[in-house]
Structure 1
Amino acid sequence: MGNSIGIEIDEGFLETLSDLAKKSSLINPELYSRYEVKRGLRDLDGRGVLVGLTEIGDVRSYVVDDSELIPIPGKLIYRGIDIVNIVDGFTKDNRFGFEETCYLLLFGKLPDKKQLSDFEGLLSQYRKLPEDFVRDMILKMPSNDVMNSLARSVLAFYSLDKKADDISIKNVLKQSLNMIACFPLIAVYGYQALSHYHGNKSLIIHSPRPDLSTAENILHMIRPDSQYTALEAKLLDLALVLHAEHGGGNNSSFVTHVVTSSGSDTYSVIASALGSLKGPRHGGANIKVIEMFEDMKKTLGNWEDRGEIQDYLVKILNKEAFDRSGLIYGIGHAVYSISDPRAIILKKYAEMLAKEKGFESEYNLYAEVERLAPEVIGKVRKMYKGVSANVDFYSGFVYRMLDIPPEMYTPLFAISRIVGWSAHRIEELVNAGKIIRPAYKSVSETQEYVTLDER
């Protein structure tokens, strides 16, 4: 098998073993109700099971009135500040907001001008990979998935860090800042290696510039000519801000708390979080939105025909169109019902970029699907719980307009969310909680051991 991992084995034998593994792992679904198991750590009413406390981020989608949940427009709070106010603050000043958001999430308060300048300078100093790292860790073993390349690079940092196992807050903060600064480099170079070795394209490696923001450096490094407009950079910066944190209950942040609670090192923790984020149920959803719309554009005769769009959405729900999953990707969220504030903010700026880049008709199609989908879902599924567009609905479209390849969509999420993960890791360490170990009830039948000769 050349340089591939593995050896040739009897496929029939492997199939038999696979069937045995499936059979031995199957649990009667009725048992989950009998023992009141909260699958997905969620109550029957959809609320998450309370397993911890945090001051970093908060997601609000309802109020409780006489023990009844009343849906409200969604709110996303960073360290007590509404994300809408954070975005309004830096956009009105016509400046980038990701670095300011990093400071807020890590240290609990907004920085003043000097603190922000010093922090930006610190990230710039950290924005450098070890000597020969790109050649030895990224180019010599290119991965066909940038998320795996990121995880491998993070674990390689462990080997290069003389204080890798030091979990003092000062050392963990240093490690975290280093990764926040270096994630854009590792992700972009991982993509360039993929593009070259797996896509036969030219290999172009641009070094980061100390005078550029995180968003500007990403565009500078990923584009062959390093050129971008001010609006492009501002919209990518906005996307990074909106993805930086989403409370402690999202899958990858919870993983961060769980692995940190075991006393493990920073690099193992972040590699675990990356593995969680890679999953299509978490960080990969915006790619499915793009693929759905590509199929929709090919199928529809008229992008402006409301009835034709409705018919297509009904076919999706009936598993007759696109990937036959029955899901309208980008619509609905585990927490938000009336609205996802991130989608509302991103939509506004996506419209501006669509006008600049000539994507207005496609933007109008997205907006029409956003309007029609909740209505169609309500009729077909007879589901009256509110559903709305989530951040993934527009983020993939934004990245596409920015000429960012799909292979980079989830890594961009990671570049942003490493900030939230770092804050949650520090919070878990500071509060020195117990190792997180939820209960699982065994429902297996008792068996007697049978000797080998008697089986």
Structure 2
Amino acid sequence: MADDLKKGLEGVLVAESELSSIDGDEGRLIYRGYTIDDLARGASYEEVVYLLWHGHLPNEDELAAFTESINEERRVHDDVLATMERLADADEQPMAALRTAVSMFSAYEPEVDAEPDDLGASLRKGRRIAAKVPTALAAFERYRLGEEPVDPHPDLGLAANFLYMLTGDEPDDVAAETFDQALILHADHGLNASTFTSMVIGSTMADIYSAVTGGVCALSGPLHGGANQDVMEVLMEIDESDLDPRDWVEQATEEGRRIPGFGHRVYNVKDPRAKILQERSEELAETGDSKWYDITTTIEGYLTDEKGLVEKGIAPNVDFYSGSVYYQLGIPIDMYTPIFAMSRVGGWVGHVLEYQEDNRLIRPRAQYTGPEDQEFVPIEDR
């Protein structure tokens, strides 16, 4: 039995999926057969979500109808906004606020009486979640700043609209395109911890709100989400020091510190998503402050060329560049993981509904290692 134990389900196949595939040795990620490079450079986030949910890229009419259906669902109930304000006043963590918001959305669901196996209704509910999460997150941040929420802009896509609701100003083309790419890159990534959590919940035929809430909860853990926040905090620490980034990293590693943004459970080479975000970081540096791009590329060069980490299977992952990209877009550091969740709703919903099409309750077993044949003693004799 011990030989069959797979801690963390390492290498265990639990489902078949057509949504995404990862080749960790080649550094390749595909969504339904399309490379992440092609999608990030040629599609919008809405197109990618449509692809994940419907199995094909939309034509112009399908995309227009899909985008309109999302735009119509962006507003959240006043009760949700009031709760976001109370949580902001209580200094709640953004991921906890998001967890509460997604759970609250179901209270105002127009198809609340739909049967659990009505996958069409579940898909429409998933669309409402995807539409409302940016609104709730932006409102929470506005309340933290002592400002009123900004209503969704009817003419902006999901990515640009979030930046607009966050700041009150329409983003320029570079910012909007960069953030849209970032959402595409994070939309799905196989059976990671949060996606698997959503699938486990979905396998009980719980509603999609429960499944997405569970995904948010799993993503909130520092071993899953949050690495890009850690990266940005390290970059800021380096910037505030008097050390060259190489010297800082050398000193940090000698002290036993781990450099965030390097290494991945699946990739043995540079994460293909990191390559794309590195390009965007460079573009943002050309029109703004280049120091964050300079520091990250210096660290990468030092750890890969001089320390040879890639040869050891430890290479930059998506978080290594997403942190500085978000920072250059003016996004607060502790909002990075909620943004991850905002994007990953597309993958969570897609995987849950795909699994439910041929559902089987997920019920693994544990190897018992406790005592045997204990003698029961009545409480008065203990």
Aligned pair 1:316/2:252, yes or no? Answer: yes
Does residue 41 (structure 1) correspond to residue 47 (structure 2)? The answer is no
**CA distance in 2 between partners of 1:287 and 1:58 (Å):** 26
SS in 2 for 1:76: strand
Q: CA deviation at 1:158?
A: 2.4
The 4+ residue runs of structure 1 with deviation greater than 4 A are: 375-379
In structure 2, distance between residues paired with 1:140 and 1:312: 41
**How much has 1:258 moved relative to structure 2?**
0.8
Q: Distance in 1 between matches of 2:41 and 2:141?
A: 32
- Within the alignment, does 1:231 sit opposite 2:174 as a pair? yes
TM-score normalised to structure 1 length: 0.79
For the Cα contact (< 8 Å) 1:331–1:373, is it kept in 2? no
* 1:234-253 alignment runs, 5 A limit: 234-247=177-190, 249-253=191-195
Q: Which residue matches 2:348?
A: 421
* Alpha-carbon separation, structure 1, partners of 2:283 and 2:17: 35
Counterpart code for 2:363 = R
Aligned to 1:437: 363
User: How far 1:154 moved relative to its partner?
Assistant: 1.6
- Quickly say closer, same or farther: Cα 1:376–1:313, change in 2 above 3 A: farther
Query: Is the Cα–Cα contact under 8 Å of residues 317 and 377 in structure 1 kept in the other structure?
Result: no
Secondary structure of residue in 1 paired with 2:99: helix
**1:54 maps onto 2:54 in alignment:** no
| RMSD (CA atoms) | 1.9
Q: Which amino acid aligns with 1:253?
A: T
3-state secondary structure, aligned to 1:431: coil
Which runs of no fewer than 5 residues in structure 1 stay unpaired? Answer: 1-31, 43-47, 63-71, 91-96, 196-200, 304-308
Q: Which amino acid aligns with 1:276?
A: A
- Among 265, 278, 297, the alignment partner of 1:334 is 265
Residue equivalent to 1:17: none
Quote the offset at 1:162 in angstroms. 5.4
Alignment match, 1:139: 85
Instruction: Choose from 297, 300, 318 the match for 1:370.
Output: 300
Cα distance, 1:454–1:375 mapped onto 2, change above 3 Å: farther
Distance 1:160 1:87, change over 3 A: closer
The equivalent of 2:130 in structure 1 is: 180
For residue 189 of structure 1, what is the aligned residue in structure 2? Answer: 139
| Residue from 24, 36, 52 that aligns with 1:83 | 36
Secondary structure at 2:22's aligned position in 1? strand
Q: Give the gaps of 5 or more residues in structure 2.
A: none
Segment drifting more, 162-171 vs 260-269: 162-171
Distance in 1, matches of 2:285 and 2:261, equals 19
| Paired-residue identity, % | 33
Q: How far 1:378 moved relative to its partner?
A: 4.7
Q: What code does the residue aligned with 1:206 have?
A: V
Report SS of the residue matched to 1:139.
helix
Match of 1:386 among 297, 310, 313: 313
Given that 2:292 and 2:324 are in contact with CA atoms closer than 8 Å, whether structure 1 keeps it comes out as no
Look up the SS of the partner of 1:126 in the other structure.
coil
- Residue 328 of structure 2 aligns with an amino acid whose one-letter code is M
- Does the alignment pair 1:351 with 2:282? yes
Deviation at 1:317, TM superposition (A): 2.6
Between the aligned partners of 1:302 and 1:83, the Cα distance in structure 2 is: 34
C-alpha displacement of 1:301: 3.2
Pairwise CA distance, 1:259: 0.8
Q: Give the Cα–Cα distance (whole angstroms) in 2 for the partners of residues 138 and 75 of structure 1.
A: 39
1:130 to 51, 54, 77: 77
CA-to-partner distance for each residue in 1:126-184, whole Å, 9 max, x for gaps?
1121244312x222343521211111122122222354363201110110010111110
Letter in 2 for 1:241: I
